[in-house]
Amino acid sequence: MDIETQIINYLKSQFPNHIGDDAVLLENNNNLISKDILIEDIHFRLKYFTPQELAHKSIHVNLSDIAAMGGTPHSILLGIGIPSQQIQYAEEYLKEFIVICNKLSIKLIGGDTTKSPDKLYLSITILGHNKGKKIIYRNGAKNNNLICVAGNLGYAHLGLLQLEQNLIANYHHDYSDYLKKPTARIDEGLFFNNCDGINAMMDISDGLCTDLEKLADSSNKQAIINLDLFNFLDENFKITCGELNINPLNTALIGGEDYSLLITINQNQYTEIVTDFYNQFGYKIKQIGYISNGNGIKFIKNNKLISYKYMPFAHFK
């Protein structure tokens, strides 16, 4: 267990009713709140992020937490630590940050600025509200729910590896924008929030396996991943994985920072939900497994349990 997980588990043990989902529903109203921290050379590198791209990502990373609760964002707070050598970069970042907030009708309501010794530091708090039928938590998965994903798996990880190798022009397909300019799936979250039959939801920031394990543990259930269902991996994806000398299936399972939505759906309502979703958004929900009694994640192939070991996603490892 890494130090981040140990810290989160300790804090959850002290405040079990408030920590654990992508965002928190404030008591006595329908307001949601969430925070993310982005640190230079931990979550991004200035050598390949323009100020405009970093502004986009830092906002959408936070919006994704509101999307994962089926909410609508309305306000944001920004804390920024600026090293002396990055003042101009920070100024351009702030200008774009304001442009994006105005475009999305999000109000900047406060924050803080300070000097940083050597790295750019961003701390963002996002607020939203819930107008749907209910709040969808990650702890609601039920036996025989189908596990599904709305969005990409592994695309941002390919972009990260391409950027780290600084050879974008040499690749069959450029995935770098999936890393630098992800789009929070606000509309999709609202759609699921208004569907009967969606029992659990969260966004995928740390990779499918890592985040699915969090969802399963929160629900006191086991997640079964059916590897035979990963026939949605397209040729561009497979070719680029080959160029990077990595396994396509493993990349889809562990790649982080796609900010897709992970959901569990009642079997009886699955066909109606996926049909309505495709008609509204023009892309298909990916079914990747099901929920059962037990704990953790198990893998099946050809209807048989198999052993499959994976390394959790890490930004620059």
For residue 30, give the CATH number of its domain: 3.30.1330.10
Q: Is residue 138 part of a domain?
A: no
Would you say residue 244 lies in a domain?
Answer: yes
pLDDT band, residue 31 (cuts 50/70/90): confident
Structure confidence by residue, pLDDT tens digits, 193-217: 999 999 999 999 999 999 999 999 9
Does one domain contain both 206 and 111? no
* pLDDT tens string 223-233: 999 999 999 99
Asked whether residue 106 falls in the same domain as residue 212, the answer is no
Of 129, 155, 170, which residue constitutes the final position of a domain? Answer: 129
Count of C-beta atoms within a 10 Å radius of residue 180: 21
Q: Tell me, yes or no, whether 154 and 125 share the same domain.
A: no
Examine the domain organization and report whether 124 and 154 are in the same domain.
no
Number of domains, the chain:
2
Same domain (yes/no): 27, 82: yes
Flag whether 134 is in a domain.
Answer: no
Q: Report CA Rg, the chain.
A: 19
If asked whether residues 62 and 195 sit together in one domain, one would say: no
Q: Is residue 53 part of a domain?
A: yes
Residues 107 and 77 in one domain: yes
What secondary structure letter does DSSP report for 309? -
Q: What is the pLDDT of residue 284?
A: 97
**Can you give the CATH number for the domain in which 267 is found?**
3.90.650.10
Are residues 156 and 81 part of one domain?
no
Do 183 and 276 have their domain in common? yes
314 in any annotated domain: no
Are residues 170 and 44 both part of a single domain? no
Q: How confident is the model at residue 13 (pLDDT cuts 50, 70, 90)?
A: low
- Which of 129, 158, 174 is where one domain is finished? 129
| Dihedral angle sign, alpha carbons of residues 297, 61, 73, 79 | positive
Q: Supply the pLDDT for residue 170.
A: 76
- Asked if residue 30 belongs to a domain, the reply is yes
254-275 core/surface letters (b: 16 or more CB in 10 A; e: else): bbbbbbbbbbbbbeeebeebbe
Q: Cα separation of 142 and 149, whole Å?
A: 16
What pLDDT does residue 236 have? 95
Q: Which of 257, 143, 272, 259 is nearest to 199 (CA)?
A: 143
Distances in Å between the Cα of 16 and the Cα atoms of 10, 21, 33, 159, 311 are 10, 11, 16, 36, 28
The answer to whether residue 262 sits within a structural domain is yes
Q: Among 129, 160, 195, where does a domain finish?
A: 129
Q: Could you tell me if 174 and 65 lie in one domain?
A: no
Side chain identity at 167, as an amino acid letter?
L
Q: What is the pLDDT of residues 245-293, one digit of tens each?
A: 999 999 999 999 999 999 999 999 999 999 999 999 999 999 999 999 9
Predicted pLDDT at 167:
72
Residue 224 belongs to domain spanning: 146-306
Kindly state whether residue 135 falls inside one of the protein's structural domains.
Answer: no
- 151 with 270, same domain? yes
The pLDDT value recorded for residue 135 is: 84
pLDDT of residue 41: 94
Which is more confident, 314 or 78? 78
Tokens matching residue 49: 């992020």
Mean pLDDT of 173-187: 96
Q: Which one-letter DSSP state was computed for residue 21? A: S
